[in-house]
A and B are shown apart, each in its own frame.
Chain A
Amino acid sequence: MPTRNTSPAVRPGHLGRTVEGGKKERARHGAARRRGRSERLAPYVLIAPAVLIIVALRLYPLALGVNFSFTGDGEANGTAVGFANYLELLDDPLFQTALANVGLLVLLLPVAVAIPGLLATFIYLKVPGHRFFRSVYFFPAVLSPVIVGAIFNLMLAFDGPLNELLGTIGLGPVDWLGDPGVAKFAVVGVQIWATFGMALVVFLAGFATLDASLLDAARVDGASLRQSIWHVIIPSLSQTIQFVFVTTMIGMLTSMFGLLYVMTSGGPEGSTYLPEYYIWIQQGQMNRPALASAASTVLFLIMLVVGLLQISVLRRAGRED
């Protein structure tokens, strides 16, 4: 066997040395038997760095966090306090608001899925300009929530362009980000604006697997667009729809921090809190890591429940058809 194969195998040499150095040594001293062993170990060597990082910085912290959530903060640091943190959470009006807002997000979820679904249907049916629409709609999805939030800070300011526009048709002004009853809808609206393109692209990938002859057959039988969507498109795309439901919900629960941080800082009057923002405040501002860990655990459970619930509901709906 050519020995040059045992020189550092990974092109970016300076970082490759730690992994490949040991192998080089081994091969130099080794006989054929040794070589066989190194080959057998190769899969483990290749996967070890990834596994180490995932275990040390994702799985271990998850366990550590659950453990934290049953200990105290401040003077009680490290001592077991049972469910005290969880009870405190349930008593905290800010956390209650955060949970209520999660409920609101769940209620708005069908809208956030239906909009891109409908738009994808039209694009699939080749509405004039469908290529252009596709690239324009997808584009906000690549922007950071921070950029989106900053842009909408300008657009939604009390003396900003949206109110000026409404003023010309005799409406408003609305205090988009300053009115507790309005701000949460404004933020969710911006979140949907920023992410519907992502779901749209996923839907279009689903459409690519759709059997076009089914739609043709429906049309020949005189089905209206609504009937085609209901009886052909939705059942055929149930996998994709499930995926979009789950990913949109996960997105709403875990990727709105940037928007909240830039647009409202949880205000006005704490009305735009979400669990992730609550965790950030308790950890970073209030120095209550154990309480924050309890909130993290609750968030994790919510995500688990929502994910499983949605999958089972959609499965049942799919079966009835």
Chain B
Amino acid sequence: MRRLGKWVVAVPMAILALATIYPLIFTANVAMKTRREYVLDRFSLTESLHWENIATAWNSVGMARYFANSLFVVAASVFLLLWLGSMAGFALSRLPFRGSKALFIGCLAALFIPFQVIMVPLSRVMADTGLIDTYPGLILAYVAQFLPFTVFLMTSYYRSVPKEIVDAARIDGNTVYGVYRRIMVPIGRPALLSVGILDALFCWNDVLIALLMMPSADHRTLMVGVTSLRGQYTDNIPTFASGVLIAAVPVLLVYLFLQRQIADGVTAGSTKG
């Protein structure tokens, strides 16, 4: 493209960038306003930072509780996903055994079953086993949902690890489990990081699975909490915006620092598939 052409394109792209970022800036600004300020002029920059809106959302609406619930559930789910996913990925990529190929294909097929398709029978299975409305139940639902993806990416990653490394470790007297622990886990760190961040985002951002698996109010995750804000604070927009901001900030931080890893995880499936 010619030099001038590039600038002609850059202008609409800049406008689009503004349209992408503005809704969040608007929300953050509203979160810092008083109700009066908001009603008088919703666009103006807030005159002073009213952190008390955040405090209200955090304390009296119960966002603190929901935040803690989400943190716990996401941490446990991601830990299990990475652990089970890396073991399976190691076995599927570097250990020849009967049925390995069929299991990998089965795992790929499971990747294409959306949650909506199995949510009715799954909630019945969870109810029958007494896991509904419990933390282990929700964690297990998340692990089941994102395990095929995790196994798939870990298998692809471990396929790029030279076989010689595994063989050498075996000759040195390591058992298969020793190879997993001493070689595959440390060597898989970049993939574990990038898959782990994506799994964490998926679990943190989910609302459907949490709504279905955790009906009672004090088991709510943060996203379910945000949906309940809407009904309670229709006339108090700044508090509503504060709640939204609380739920968005952790993701924003992750994005700012780990953007590359997120993009790597997202694109891994496209180039290998």
Contacts and interface: CB of A to CB of B under 8 A. Distances in A.
Interface of A: 1-2, 5-6, 9-12, 15, 20, 23, 38-39, 42-44, 46-47, 49-51, 53-54, 56-62, 64-65, 68, 119, 122, 125-129, 132-133, 135-147, 150-155, 160-161, 164, 193, 197-198, 201-202, 204-206, 209, 225, 240, 243-244, 247, 250, 253-254, 257-258, 261-262, 275-276, 279-280, 283-284, 289, 292-293, 296-297, 299-300, 303, 307
Interface of A is mostly: helix
8 contacts: A38-B175, A138-B263, A154-B237, A253-B114, A257-B116, A283-B212, A289-B120, A296-B117
Given A5-B173, A11-B185, A142-B255, A127 B6 contact: yes
B20 A47 contact: no
B113 interface: yes
A58 to B, nearest CB: 5
Q: How large is the interface on B (under 10, 10 to 19, 20 to 34, 35 or more residues)?
A: 35 or more
Interface string B1-39: 100011101100110110111011011001000000000
B101 interface: no
Given A46-B90, A125-B1, A293 B17 contact: no
A136 B270 contact: no
Given A243-B273, A289-B124, A127 B13 contact: yes
A167 B270 CA distance: 43
Nearest to A39: B176
B5 A225 contact: yes
A42 B117 contact: no
Given A137-B16, A154-B26, A206-B270, A43 B10 contact: no
B59 interface: no
Nearest to B141: A57
Given A5-B173, A51-B103, A276-B208, 17 more contacts: A9-B181, A12-B83, A50-B87, A64-B125, A136-B17, A144-B207, A146-B227, A153-B230, A160-B42, A193-B20, A202-B266, A205-B270, A243-B269, A258-B207, A283-B212, A284-B212, A289-B124
Contacts of A164: 42-43
B148 interface: yes
A45 to B, nearest CB: 8
B121 A64 contact: yes
A280 B87 contact: no
B120 A296 contact: yes
B143 interface: yes
A57 B144 contact: yes
A128 B247 contact: no
